[in-house]
């Protein structure tokens, strides 16, 4: 374990903890290692009195490509599905606001991180897709946060179609807070985080609890059912064949 390359970095400056996903080999897929490190960094930020705001971003254009299909096809997803439910709950229940920033692609399970965050800022040109349906799966575990944020018509369109939509679309659908031109993304997020950091800790904590009460109740009520459903679908012959075919496609 000590020889493993760190996949999630952590830095604190000006009361903002920046958590950076950095696993380019699998496009920041939600591998066991990445999820474990992301949870640890979030918990570290939650416990740090010097931190008032948490920013989750990626080192490259791809924010997160969703589940690690190599792990899922080989080992199943029983532990993985529950870990992603717990990840969404952690983001929603932390006492500090969580902001996501994405310059480029967000797919499937990665959209659950964006939806669980309190504020999400995307480049207009970024791309999103709930691709599960194409693989014989469903956006089950991330439905806990994603369908809480999106308007119902947009949820049906994107989850049933599985097609790519833009950051600008994501803002119109309610999935992200705002979408801005890519060249303005860094400045916009820096200004936003600086503003959030002026909030008093008690004010931030109590306001977030009020705002996320329904989301947390939804996760608690449906989390186990959605994890069970997702695990069953990942373990099905139809999904396994689709994942293996996807992983066998020529790269590039």
List pLDDT tens digits, range 198-228: 999 999 999 999 999 999 999 999 999 999 9
Q: Which residues have a Cβ under 8 Å from the Cβ of 236 and sit 6 or more positions away?
A: 136
Convert the pLDDT of each residue in 14-47 to its tens digit: 999 999 999 999 999 999 999 999 999 999 999 9
User: Looking at the domain assignment, is residue 237 inside a domain?
Assistant: no
Per-residue pLDDT tens for 87-135?
999 999 999 999 999 999 999 999 999 999 999 999 999 999 999 999 9
Domain count across the chain: 1
The reply to whether 93 falls in a domain is yes
**Residues 132, 187, 188, 225: which is the catalytic one?**
132
Structure-block tokens of residue 18: 């920046």
Report yes or no on 1 lying in a domain.
no
Query: Does 64 reside within a domain?
Result: yes
**54 neighbors 19 (Cβ within 8 angstroms):** yes
Active site residue 132: yes
Tell me if 221 is assigned to some domain.
no
Q: Is residue 224 part of a domain?
A: no
Query: 33 to each of 20, 26, 29, 169, how far by Cα in Å?
Result: 14, 12, 10, 31
CA-based nearest residue to 55, from 25, 96, 95, 83:
96
CATH code of 46's domain: 3.90.226.10
Alpha helices in the chain (DSSP H): 32-47, 69-75, 78-93, 109-116, 143-149, 152-161, 167-173, 185-196, 201-211, 213-234, 237-248
- Is 218 a member of any domain? no
Instruction: Quote the CA–CA distance of 88 and 174 in Å, as a whole number.
Output: 17
Domain limits for position 13: 8-182
Contact at 8 Å (CB) between 78 and 231? yes
The answer to whether 159 touches 139, Cβ cutoff 8 Å, is yes
Residue 156 lies in a domain: yes
């Amino acid at each position: 374990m000590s020889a493993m390359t760190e996949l999630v970095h952590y830095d604190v400056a000006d009361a903002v903890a920046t958590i950076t996903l950095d696993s380019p080999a699998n496009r920041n897929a939600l591998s066991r290692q990445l999820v474990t490190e992301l949870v640890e960094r979030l918990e570290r930020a939650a416990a740090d009195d010097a931190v008032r705001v948490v920013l989750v971003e990626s080192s490259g254009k791809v924010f997160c490509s969703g589940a690690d299909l190599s792990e899922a096809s080989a080992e199943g997803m029983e532990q993985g599905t529950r870990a992603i439910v717990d990840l969404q709950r952690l983001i929603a229940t932390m006492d500090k606001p969580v902001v996501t920033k994405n310059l480029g692609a967000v797919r499937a399970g990665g959209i659950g991180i964006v939806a669980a965050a309190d504020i999400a800022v995307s480049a207009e040109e970024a791309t999103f897709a709930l691709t599960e349906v194409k693989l014989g799966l469903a956006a089950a575990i991330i439905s806990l946060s994603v369908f809480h944020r999106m308007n119902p018509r947009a949820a049906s369109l994107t989850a049933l179609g599985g097609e790519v939509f833009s950051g600008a679309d994501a803002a119109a659908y309610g999935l992200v807070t705002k979408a801005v031109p890519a060249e303005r993304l860094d400045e916009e997020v820096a200004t936003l985080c600086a503003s959030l950091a002026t909030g008093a800790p008690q004010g931030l904590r109590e306001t977030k609890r009020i705002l996320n009460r329904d989301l947390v109740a939804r996760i608690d009520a449906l989390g186990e059912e959605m994890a069970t459903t997702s695990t069953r679908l990942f373990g099905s012959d139809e999904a396994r064949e689709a994942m293996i075919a996807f992983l066998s496609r020529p790269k590039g």
